[in-house]
Amino acid sequence: MYGLFSLPPPPINTHRLAATWISTHTSIHPLSSIDPRRSKVRCNKPQMASSSTFLLATVVVATLLAVGSCGSALTLTIGKGSSSTSLEIVTNVAISEVSIKQKGAMDWSDDLKESPANTWTLKSKEPIKGPISVRFAVKNGGYRVVDDVIPDGFKPGSVYKTGVQI
């Protein structure tokens, strides 16, 4: 019997939009016929998808949008080995090619060394001056810059939120 509830349950596949599922699983009613003079489909009984199908489609699309926009906010923690001439930056997410620019500097310092556990270290002969801007590479190419994120007088254990989603 063909009715509103004769459609099979939708497949669980997040890579296809629910709208695609609806369009591929709704078909011409078997009692329909094709009018050869007009080359159009003539339906004896109109078929409509149920409201639960549309609700499911809406939920799947909303979930796909929510999952695609998730990210982690980058935070920088000043490591325990930091001092006036050494800066250890520990990140909560993996980033690459980290550089810093101290107050009054014209160029970025690419001397930071990467250590295990998302730690970047700069050793300097002179005192490190804040505020400090941080630059790092992103996956899709290019760099992100967080200006003046580490203030002057930073202390080991201090945590600074950047507001940047990774």
Q: Where do the domains of the chain lie?
A: 18-68, 73-161
**82 in Cβ contact with 159 (< 8 Å):** no
Higher pLDDT, 70 or 16: 70
For range 59-87, the mean pLDDT: 78
**pLDDT at position 19:** 47
Asked if CATH classification 2.60.40.760 holds for the domain at 73-161, the reply, yes or no, is: yes
Percent of the chain with pLDDT over 70: 60
Which of 123, 133, 136 has the alpha carbon at shortest distance from 97? Answer: 136
End-to-end CA distance of the chain: 52
State the CB neighbour count (10 A cutoff) for residue 101: 18
Query: Residue 123's beta-bridge partner residues?
Result: 86
d(CA 16, CA 60): 9
